[in-house]
Amino acid sequence: MLKQCLAIMRREVFYLWRDKGLRHILLFGSLVGLLLFYAIYSAQVLKDIPTAVVDLDNSGASRELVDKIGKAEYLKLVASVASYDDLQELIKQGKAVVGVVIPENFARDVALGRQTRVLAVIDGSNMIYATNASAALLTVTRTISAQAGVSALVARGVQLQQAKEAYQAIDFSEEPWFNPALNYAYFLVFALALNIWQQCCTLAACLNVIGERGMKSWLQIKASGISKFRFFASKSIAQVFIFMAIVLPLYILAFGVFKLPLNCSWPSFLLFTLAFAIAIHSIGTLASSFARNAVDAARFGMIIALPSFVLSGYTWPLEAMPYYLQRIARILPQTWFFQGLNYFAFKNAGWNLMSHYILAMLAVAAVCYGAAAIFIARS
């Protein structure tokens, strides 16, 4: 029986390798994706965010403020315009992402210790730019506001040191954990590459059953006396083995060459990946078992695989989604994999949490394989 299973597995590897198009997709799809995404996000954080200023006061104090904005770490002063309308046009044309409007009488109000309102405009049409610009502006405004407050107290006769202490009575320190540099590349690049890998694997798994039914050799296999269960189980083992083999170069490139974070042990992470490979293979096998042809099977698989990354909660929290979408997301193995990926790669959350995610994916696999077995038995 073992020899028979090994023969079926060798046959499956041969057929997958012989399909040139599928072979290239499996071998190079996720690797090309990793290289592409790493190149795109290699800057790690957004710098030199285009900023324009409208100075309606034209005083020494306002010019000093403009100078401080121009020297801010993540902002780049690209224009100084005369009116609010001119600023609006710059942002419409995409020439500026951030706009700062300094009001009239700015210097007078600061000198008298009055509250003055400086308008900060952010182009919200690009959320990535908007989020980073907002954080950069917040840092600048905190510093400038504190300096203005200290100057106002000094003008009223308060000693400089006392004025500084008044604004530093509560010192809030910010300390990001697990991704200290807030590196966007660490957070997104690896997940996007693995998303391509899971889609390619799902596509291959969708041929597991229907790919045999469409071949003339299927009648010979049925006549040979090999049980359907043993035949397709052997094929499945071979395919899962291939899925794991093609993800290993991706892992070596990501963790060894690009030095992306991996804080859990290699065996644990590979076991976690194996559970996911089995789960997505089970989905493809189920789609393949009731599809009318290979094209239909691929469609069913892609309908699940393509939106699953968005539904996984990796780029947008599950808790912020409508309740019915949360319920749907939790039955998809992609949700458990991409949620767990963040925990294990960054945090090394421990075996107790990892086992929960692994068991959830294996439960999905058991249900899908069981349903596929019923469809296969009736064929």
> Rounded to whole angstroms, how far apart are CA atoms 298 and 278?
17
- Give the model's pLDDT for residue 244: 93
The domain limits of the chain are 2-41+183-378, 49-167
Question: What's the pLDDT score for residue 168?
Answer: 56
Q: How far apart are CA 117 and CA 224, in angstroms?
A: 84
Instruction: Using 70 as the pLDDT threshold, list the residues of the chain that sit under it.
Output: 1-45, 113, 126-128, 141-176, 181-182, 210-228, 379
Cα–Cα nearest to 148, from 182, 191, 180, 118: 118
Q: What are phi and psi of 102, to 5 degrees?
A: -95, 125
- Cβ proximity of 188 and 41 under 8 Å: yes
Q: What is the dihedral of CA 344, 345, 347, 353, to 10 degrees?
A: 0
pTM of this structure: 0.72
pLDDT in the model for residue 370: 92
Burial of 201 (C-beta count, 10 Å sphere; 0-12/13-18/19+): buried
Q: 49-167: which CATH architecture?
A: 3-Layer(aba) Sandwich (3.40)
pLDDT for 364: 94
Only one residue has tokens 């996911």, namely 276
Q: Which residue has the tokens 């403020």?
A: 65
Q: Given CA atoms 246, 292, 333, 306 in this order, what sign does their dihedral have?
A: positive
125: β partners: none
Cβ contact 203:25 at 8 Å:
yes
Partners of 153 in the β-ladder: none
pLDDT score recorded for residue 169: 47
Q: Give pLDDT tens digits for 325-378.
A: 888 889 999 999 998 888 888 888 788 888 999 999 999 999 999 998 888 777
pLDDT (tens digit per residue) in 261-300: 888 889 999 999 999 999 999 998 888 888 777 777 777 7
Would you state the torsion angle of the CA atoms of residues 142, 148, 151, 157, taken in this order, to the nearest 10 degrees? -100
Strands ordered across the beta sheet of 49-55:
75-81, 49-55, 98-102, 119-122
Q: Which helix (H) or strand (E) holds 102?
A: strand 98-102
